[in-house]
Structures are given as structure tokens and as C-alpha cells.
Chains A and B, each alone.
Chain A
Amino acid sequence: MSDVASISGEWRALSSLRLGEGGKVRVIDGGRFMTQRMSMLGIRPGIEVRVVHGPGKRGAVLQVDGARIALGRGVVERIRVEKSPCADVSAYAQGGRS
């Protein structure tokens, strides 16, 4: 991961974020079924999410508003986000939108 990419805020796979980093969901790949499955849980374009566990081999746990959503690896790779500029790793314990 180059520094340029993280500064410019281009869209990237959720799996490339690090623990504690957050981003705005931009695209969810995988068709209507997948989009609906995600929006059910509050994950949809425009929403701010934060990685509170992982990402790892299992996938990642996201903080989405007041909820924690566990996503398997296969899902995490299909969500592309725009990384939030100020990622504070120590803040991963904090909930809510930033």
C-alpha cells in the first residue's frame, strides 16, 4: 500500500484497510442479492464503517453506527471504500460514526 493511495482517498477493497481504520462505503460488488444482504445490516454506499477486528483470514468485524457486523473474507473483498483521512488506530475501540 503506497502512501499516495492512502492520501488521495481512492476507492479500495475493505480488506486493504488496517485495524482501526475507517472509510466510506462506495461500491458493493456481487449483484443485487449481495447489495441487499449488506444494506439489511446497514452497510450501503455512503455509510461510514470502521474496522474493529481484523481484517484477517476470517474476514473483518465492522463498526457500523451502533452495531458490530462480522463479515467473512469473501464479503470483505467485495466492498470498496473510500478511506477516511484521519485514521487513528487507538480509536478502534470507539463506536459510532466519525
Chain B
Amino acid sequence: MSACHESDNALAPVSAQGGPVIALAGNPNCGKTTLFNLLTGAHQHVGNWPGVTVEQRRGQASLAGGKASIVDLPGVYSLLGGGGEDQSVARDFLLEGKVDLVVNIVDASNLERHLALTAELLETGRPVLLVLNMVDEARANGLEPRVAELSAALGVPVVPMVARTGRGKRDLLEVLGRALEALPKPVAVDYPQAVEEALRALAATLEGSAASRRFEGLRLLEGAAEAKTVIVRDVLRAVEERVFATTGEAVADVLADTRFGWAHELAEHAIRRGGKVGMRQRVTAVLDHVALHEWLGVPVFLLVLYLVFVVSFSGGNIFLDFFDRASAALLINGVGHVLYTLGLPAWLVSVVAGGLGGGLNLVIAFIPPIGLTFLFLAFLDDSGYMARAAYAMDRLMRRLGLPGNSLVPMVIGFGCNVPAIMGSRIIEDPRGRMLTVLMQPFMSCSARLTIYMAFAVVFFRSNGGQVVFLLYVLGIVVALLTAWLLGKTAVRGEALPFVMELPPYRLPSVRSVLLQSWQRLKVFMFRVGRVIAVIGLVLFILPGIGWTGKGLQTTDIDHSLLAQGSRALVPVFEPMGIKENNWPAVSGLIAGAAAKEIVIGTLNGIYQRQNAADLMAAYRHPDIGGQLVDALKTIPANALTFITTLNDPLGLSDLDSTQATEQASGADSATLKAIAAGFTPLSALAYLVFVLLYVPCASTMGALRREVGWGWMVFSMLYGIGLGWGAGTVIYQVGTFAQHSESSAFWIGGVSAAFALLIVGLRLYGNARPDGSLLGAAS
């Protein structure tokens, strides 16, 4: 649930300056990224479910002997194959990449299975070091690791750790430093006589060092690699037959059995099973009983989402006015006053105070609800519930032709669509992965949340949480229906049966939840701040020039190029209730195709300019102290509203929104006032639905292109715009049906017909391409 796509780009680039390369390898959800963050000081997204990391990342760590480059990899169960695209990324790197030392992280409470990967890693011939992670949880389960025995048996250093709390970090740094100086010589698995003979025979036909020949031989015997020459192929066939003749088993099975047997024995040897099974297991059983309940599972998941978004909005509302008014007092009026008294020209004052200050004011106002959303999502992330939700929703998803774990990227999508699209890599079958990727643009990301919030504050103040929640639900429904529709027409097939490891439940630590949500909030604010600063400048120039009878000239905003261009497009959006004088709304949508954060910034810039004259008066005689006091007073008042509306969790009493205009006039900032004047509650809703469904942002489109190719990206873009426009139009026309039933009927009928046509088109496309070919083209 990374809040932001740019956080990924902010990573240190692949290190150019030499230094040893240390790769972190292990099963999914064993704490690789936690260790990565601990070693490098990075703040990569960690979560308590398998598949959080889906690409390799690099960072620098300072060891005793100097700097080292640390590579964080997606989790992988086996080097032989299996799993989604994410596991291939890790596998390819571990097999082919330049690595000086592999740090293999194993979960102490599940040692046997994790050691199966260790066995494979040792065979690659790379120097390996073992981190025995989560020893605290193992002890709570009555398992006492015997570190010295494990280290002796493997021939490599073993460091017991609790990466989450940082315990064992100093030991690890020390051991890492030593291991890089004198690379550990691991003791690999011994195979039965017949297999060892086969390996020797194969090695004789191969090239390279003894270790690499042995490893290649193993890969050949397991069918994980292809014989490159005729001689190798002939020898391979001969030894396979010989092993089968002596052992009565296929050689690949002998290898697997030996390795698993090795892991089993080692785990038995290295873990003392004493003590009682603690409370943990019982708590897990009780929680799972509810979370995975046959018919409670789905409602529980919906309830969790409802609580996240409604509590975020309503709880955030308590502080929203304070943040809004206090930042307006300081950033708009305060800054404006200072600049005015400094004697700067009026236009400069209004650009800085109104454009920049006003934009920041809008963003700051929405910090409380967005921060709370991030807080709740971070809590969910750490709790271990995510994988359960995926299992609980599996049956429902399957009916729609999707695997249950496609739910995980969807929840990530609430933060940002880009990591959600990347996160779809955890899905094993290409068909399910593609459908999941195409669903993600409809998930309401945090950038869209600002827009919802701005409109909700104006039009749906007391039941805003519910409206926002409905928009989220609408996004989910559209995403699911999209997958269902495509799965039935263009990309037919069935989802693979559900298989997923359920992580242990954890009570998320306050520190980690706060840190994680702060990281996201920071990134979010920085990005928004930057966008608003840029857009403030652009909006200063664009609205100032226009095409007049005498050619290109400086004009007032209403005759500017921006206004002319946006007005030209207004008729397109008229069926969804945007009137000609509300052209800034269209400008916002155009800018929003690049990034949703810009929408509010654009609206702000334009509205502020339209009202620049009124604001200048405020800069001359500001009452900042009084405004701050007023701002403080809103907290108890809003808290009271929050408490009194607790008995109406669905906000039903406000559905009949005749007071909407009164509420709107109560909105404070100039931009919100302008929004109130330009829209009706109905057209605002249609606008928000369009914002939800049309192109999320340029970065999401880029991620789509990378994951499913140009063709599907273009489809997704057109489909989103069409669907958004259709839905917005239907909402507005149904709402105003009584006023002009004839034209409304025309629009509604038109949208339905277009949709029917789309289905026919997709069906024909699916008929023309039997399933496989299309997926091949996509991946």
C-alpha cells in the first residue's frame, strides 16, 4: 500500500561504485525488506503478508570494512520454479545476477520449509550467510533455536535476529563484515551414491569451475535447465536411466526427497521443541474463526473497509476545519500581508499567497482524513489480516473469474494504483494477472481522495464519510465487473485454485504504524506540494494570455487560452451536469489525466485568480490571531458533531440534502466556495464518479504499459474515460429526469447502447483469439 509511485523511484540507483553486493533472499514474508530497511536506513514498504516486495531494490549499508550494496528481492519459495512473476524476479537475480554474498533469511518458527530454499541456495555455490529471523515468535511458540548447532551443520555463520525490533543488528553487521573478508564455505546436501555418480558424469561434459559444473548438473537433472549440446543431452538421458534403474525413482524426485529430508533433519536438530504452545496459537484460531468464517468472512472484510474510510473521514473532520483555517490564516492571509507590507506588486502577492499558499492550504486541510486513512491501512498491513481477506473473498472472486489473491493488489490500490499494478505480479496465472492489472485503475487512490474530500466537505459535509465510502465501493464494483466482463468475453479461462500462506497475526507496533503512515503522508504532501507549486506557475501564465481579434495577447482569465480551450470541451461534459461557466472544472479534469493531485490545485489556481480582488483586501488588514483562535474553536465543535452523529453510522438522516446549499455556503476557503457555486450536489457526484473512473494518472498508464503492453494500456484508457463519462452522465440524467425527461432518456439510452456495443466487440475479440495468443502478446 505504498502511498506513492515516486517513492519507488526515489531509491538509490544501482550502485556504480563497486563495493560488494549482498543479496537478501528467503521465502515470502520472512522479513527481507524489514532487514533491508534496518541495514540501509531506507523506508521501503513492509507488510505482514507474502508478496509485498515484487521487484529488486538496492541500497547502501555501512559495514566495518566500508560500504556494501544491499539488494532486496521478492520472496521466493524455490529456485526451481513456481509462484508468480515476483518470484521469477528473485530467482533470475539469484541465479544470474552479480552477487558476492547471499544473506538467506529464514523464519525460526518455520525452519524446515525455509531450509529447503537454503539447500538450493547452498548448491548455487554462492557464499551464503543465514539470518534466523523472528526468534521471538518461535520462542512464543515453544521453539528454542540452537544457533551454534545450525551454524556447524551448515558451515556458514548463523545470526539470530528480530529484524522488526532491530535486535541482532550489531551482530549481523559484524558477521557480514567478517564474511565478506573470508567468504563462508557452506556444506551442501549430500545425495545418494547413484545421484553423485550421475552428477560427476554430467560435470565431465560441462564447462566452468567445479562448483558451477555441479550446480548446472543439478539443474539439468531436475529439469530446471535445458541441455545445451547433444553430448550433454545424451549423457543426461543415460544417467537418468541409470538412477531410475538403481533407485526405482525419477532422478528429480530423488533430488527433491533428499533435499527435503536434509531440511527436515537439520530443522529437528537445530530447534529444541520445549515449552508449551502459547496463547498465540489460540488467539490465531479464534481470530481466524471469525475472519475466515463461511458466511461472516465477506461481511467482516466489508466492515473493516467501511470502518477504515468512514472513521478516517469522520474522525478527520474533527481537525479538518482547524487545519484548514489555521493554515489559511498563516499561508494565505499571513504570507499575503507580509508580502503586501513589503511593497510587492499586487499580482505577485496574489500569485504567491493565493496560488501557492491557497494550494498548500487545500492540501493541509485534508491531512487529517488522509493521514488517518494511511494510519488504518498501515495497521491492516501489519496485522496479518490482508491474506485472510484474500482467502475470505476467494469464492466471490472466483465466481467473477478471478483468483482470491487479486484482492491484495486492490487494497494496495487504495494507496496508489502504481504499486497495485506491480503487486499483481504475485498472481500465478497470466490470465488472472492481466485481469487484476486491468482492474487497478478503478481503485480510489489517495490522490483521488483529496478531490472527494474537497467536494464532500462542500456538498456532503455531515454524511461525507458515507459518500466517500460509496465512491470507494463503486470503484471496487466497477473493477470487479470489468474483470468479470473481460473474463467472459475477451480473456476467457478459469482462475487457478487458491493457495496462499497465512502470516501470523501481529499486534502492529505503534511505532511501526506511525512511522509507515508518516512516510506515506510525507511523500504524499511533498508530491502534492511540488505539483501545486508548478501548477501555480503554469496557471499564472496560461490564464493570462488569450486569443483575441488582434492575435495572441494578455487578457483577463475568462478570455484566456485556458478558458477558451476548456469552454470548447464543456459541451462534452454537459450531459453530466457541467455548465459553461464552470469551465475550470473541465480544466481540472484535463490536468488530472496527468496526475490526480493536480485537479484540486488547478481548481484552486483558477478560482483564486477569479477572486483575486476580494483577497487583496484581506491581505491589507488580516486578523491572523483571531482566525487562529476561531480555528482552534472548531475542534471541540466538530468533535461534538462526530459524537452526536455516531448513532447514525449510515448518515441516512442527511440523504435528503435540501440543506446542501446552506452547508455549501458555510464552506470557508475561496476555492471551496467557488466549487459550491459551480456545482449542484448531483453534478458534484457525477463529477466525482468521472474522476474516480477516468484515467488515474500518467504513472499508472506507464505501469500498465510495462505490465500488459501498449494495446491493453490504450484499451484501459479509453475504457476508463468512456465508462466514467457514461456513469457520470447516467447519474446526472437520472437525477434530473423530471426536468427534461426526453433528453435524459436519449442520453441514458445512448450510454446503454454504447455499453452493449462494447460487450459485443469484446466478445468478437475473444472469439477471434483463442485464449493463449493474447496472453503471449501481453506478457
* Chain A interface (Cβ < 8 Å from any Cβ of B): 33, 36-42, 44, 52-54, 56-59, 61, 64-75, 92-96
Beyond known contacts A58-B391, A66-B110: 20 more, CB 8 A cutoff = A36-B80, A36-B81, A39-B256, A39-B260, A41-B77, A42-B110, A44-B256, A53-B288, A58-B498, A61-B391, A67-B110, A68-B504, A69-B500, A69-B501, A70-B387, A70-B501, A72-B398, A73-B497, A92-B285, A95-B141
Name the interface residues of B394-414: CB closer than 8 Å to any CB of A: 394-395, 398, 404
Collect the chain B residues with CB atoms within 8 Å of residue A75's CB.
497-499
B288 touches A42 (CB 8 A): no
A58 to B113, Cβ gap below 8 A?
no
Q: Which residues of A contact B78 (CB under 8 A)?
A: 36, 39-40
**Any chain A CB within 8 A of the CB of B143?**
yes
A41 touches B501 (CB 8 A): yes
Contacting residues, chain B, for A57 (C-beta < 8 A): 294, 395
Using CB atoms and an 8 Å cutoff, list the residues of chain B in contact with chain A.
77-78, 80-83, 107, 109-113, 116, 138, 141-143, 256, 260, 273, 277, 281-282, 284-285, 288-289, 292, 294, 297, 387-388, 391-392, 394-395, 398, 404, 428, 497-502, 504
Instruction: Decide: B499 and A69 in contact? CB cutoff 8 A.
Output: yes
Closest to B261 in A: A46
| 10 intermolecular pairs with C-beta atoms under 8 Å apart | A36-B82, A38-B499, A39-B260, A40-B83, A44-B260, A59-B498, A65-B110, A67-B502, A74-B497, A95-B141
Is the beta-carbon distance between A61 and B501 smaller than 8 angstroms? Answer: no
Residue numbers in B under 8 Å from A70 (CB-CB): 292, 387-388, 391, 498-502
Q: Are A37 and B143 interface neighbours, CB within 8 A?
A: no
Known contacts A72-B499, A75-B498, A94-B277; is-contact A66 B80 (Cβ 8 Å) = no
* Bound Cα distance A52, B281 (Å): 11
Set of chain A residues within 8 Å of B107, measured between Cβ atoms: 66
CB within 8 A of A93: which of B285, B498, B504?
A: B285
CA distance in complex: A92, B285 (Å) = 8
Rounded to whole Å, the gap between the CB of A59 and the closest CB of chain B is: 6
List of B residues within 8 angstroms of A40 by Cβ = 77-78, 82-83
**Most-contacted residue by chain A among B109, B116, B285, B297 (CB, 10 A):** B285
Contacts of A61 in B (CB 8 A): 288, 292, 391, 502
Q: Which are the 5 A-B pairs with shortest beta-carbon distances?
A: A72-B498, A74-B497, A66-B110, A40-B77, A42-B113
- Report yes or no: A72 in contact with B277, Cβ–Cβ below 8 A: no
How far apart sit A42 and B106, CA to CA, in the bound complex (Å)? 14
Question: Which residues of chain B are within 8 angstroms of A56 by Cβ–Cβ distance?
Answer: 294
Which chain A residues lie closer than 8 Å to B388 at the CB level? 70
- Distance of B234 from chain A, by nearest CB (Å): 24
- The distance in angstroms between the C-alpha atoms of A52 and B286, with both chains bound, is 10
Which residues in A have their C-beta under 8 angstroms from that of B83? Answer: 40
Residues in B with CB closer than 8 Å to A69 are 499-502
CB < 8 Å neighbour of A52 from B141, B288, B392, B394: B288
> Could you tell me the distance between the alpha carbons of A29 and B497 in the complex, rounded to whole angstroms?
13
Closest CB in chain A relative to B625 CB, distance in Å = 58
B531 to chain A, nearest CB (A): 41
- Which of chain B's residues have a CB closer than 8 A to the CB of A58? 292, 294, 297, 391-392, 394-395, 498
A39→B78 CA distance, assembly (Å): 9
- Give the CA-CA distance A40 to B81 in the complex, in Å: 9
Q: In the complex, A42 Cα to B411 Cα: how many Å?
A: 28
Contact across chains for B277 and A96 when beta carbons are under 8 A apart:
yes
Asked if residues A95 and B77 are in contact (CB atoms below 8 Å), the reply is no
Residue of A nearest to B113 (CB): A42
**A66-B394 in contact (CB<8A):** no
Residue of B nearest to A76 (CB): B497
Q: How far is the CB of B500 from chain A (nearest CB, A)?
A: 5
What is the CB-to-nearest-CB distance from A15 to chain B, in angstroms, rounded to a whole number? 12
Q: Inside 8 A of B281's CB, which chain A residues have their CB?
A: 93-95
A39 to B222, CA, bound (A): 14
Query: In the complex, what residue of chain A is closest to B268 when comparing beta carbons?
Result: A97
Which of B109, B391, B499 sits near A66, CB closer than 8 Å? B109
* Docked-complex contact A53 and B292, CB < 8 angstroms: yes
Q: How far is the CA of A38 from the CA of B109 in the complex (A)?
A: 19
B112, A42: Cβ atoms under 8 Å?
yes
**Bound: A70/B50 CA distance, A:** 12
Known contacts A40-B82, A66-B143, A95-B277; A71 and B499 CB within 8 A of each other: yes
Partner pick for B497 among A67, A68, A72, A96, CB 8 A cutoff: A72
**B501 and A67 contact, CB distance less than 8 A:** yes
- Measured in the bound complex, the distance between the Cα atoms of B109 and A42 in whole Å is 13
Which B residues lie within 8 Å of A41 (CB)? 77, 113, 499, 501
Nearest residue (CB) in A for B76 is A40
Q: Which residues of chain A are near B112, meaning CB under 8 Å?
A: 42, 65
Name the distance in Å between A30's Cβ and chain B's nearest Cβ: 9
How far, in angstroms, from A94 to B110 measured CA to CA in the complex?
Answer: 15
**B499 A68 Cβ-Cβ under 8 A:** no
- Minimum C-beta distance from A88 to chain B (A): 13
Instruction: State the CA gap A50–B693 with chains docked (Å).
Output: 45
When chains A and B are docked, how far (Å) is the Cα of A58 from the Cα of B289?
13
Q: Which residues of A contact B297 (CB under 8 A)?
A: 58
A33 to B498, CA, bound (A): 14
Q: In the complex, A89→B320 CA distance in Å?
A: 52
Nearest CB of B to A79, in Å: 11
Given A36-B82, A52-B285, A66-B110, also A72-B260 (CB < 8 A):
no
Q: Provide the bound-state CA to CA distance between A92 and B112, in Å.
A: 21
Min C-beta distance of A93 to chain B, whole Å:
4
Give CA–CA (A53, B428) in the complex, Å. Answer: 24
Query: Which residues of B lie under 8 Å from residue A73 when comparing CB positions?
Result: 497
B502 and A71 within 8 A (CB) = no
Contacts of A42 in B (CB 8 A): 110, 112-113, 116
List, in ascending order, chain B residues with CB within 8 A of A52's CB: 285, 288
- State in angstroms the CA–CA spacing of A94 and B77 once bound together: 25
Most chain B beta-carbon neighbours within 10 Å: one of A37, A64, A67, A96: A67
Count chain B CB atoms within 10 A of each CB in A42, A61, A71 and give the residue with the most: A42
Give B498's nearest chain A residue, CB to CB: A72
In the complex, which residues of chain B have a beta carbon less than 8 angstroms from the beta carbon of A94? 277, 281
Residue in B141, B391, B392 whose Cβ sees the most chain A Cβ within 10 Å: B391
Chain B residue nearest in CB terms to A68: B502
Please, which residues of chain A bring their CB within 8 A of the CB of B502?
A: 61, 67-70
> Which interface residue of B78, B256, B497 has the most chain A CB atoms within 10 A?
B497
Distance (whole angstroms) from the CB of A74 to the closest CB of chain B = 3
Q: Give A58 to B404 CA distance when docked, in angstroms.
A: 10
Q: A37 — which chain B residues lie within 8 A by C-beta?
A: 82, 428, 499
Contacts of B111 in A (CB 8 A): 66
CA distance A34 to B142 in the complex (A): 32
Contacting residues, chain B, for A38 (C-beta < 8 A)? 499
A68–B137 Cα distance when bound, in Å, is 14
User: By the criterion CB–CB under 8 Å, are A66 and B82 in contact?
Assistant: no
Chain A positions within 8 Å of B116 at CB level: 42
- Give every chain A residue within 8 A of B110 (Cβ-Cβ): 42, 65-67
Nearest CB in chain A: distance from B399 CB, A: 12
Structural contact, A72 and B80, CB atoms closer than 8 A: no
Contact partners of A39 in chain B: CB under 8 A: 78, 256, 260
Taking the closest CB of chain A, its distance from the CB of B276, in whole angstroms, is 10
Nearest CB of chain A from residue B285's CB, rounded to whole Å: 4
Residue numbers in A under 8 Å from B391 (CB-CB): 58-59, 61, 70
- The listed residue with most B CB atoms (<10 A of its CB), out of A36, A75, A93, is A93
- A67: which B residues are within 8 A, CB to CB? 110, 113, 501-502
Q: How far is the CA of A75 from the CA of B632 in the complex (A)?
A: 58
Chain A minimum-CB-distance residue to B505: A68
**Cα A9 to Cα B88 with chains together (Å):** 40
A94 to B275, CA, bound (A): 13
Contacts of A65 in B (CB 8 A): 110, 112-113
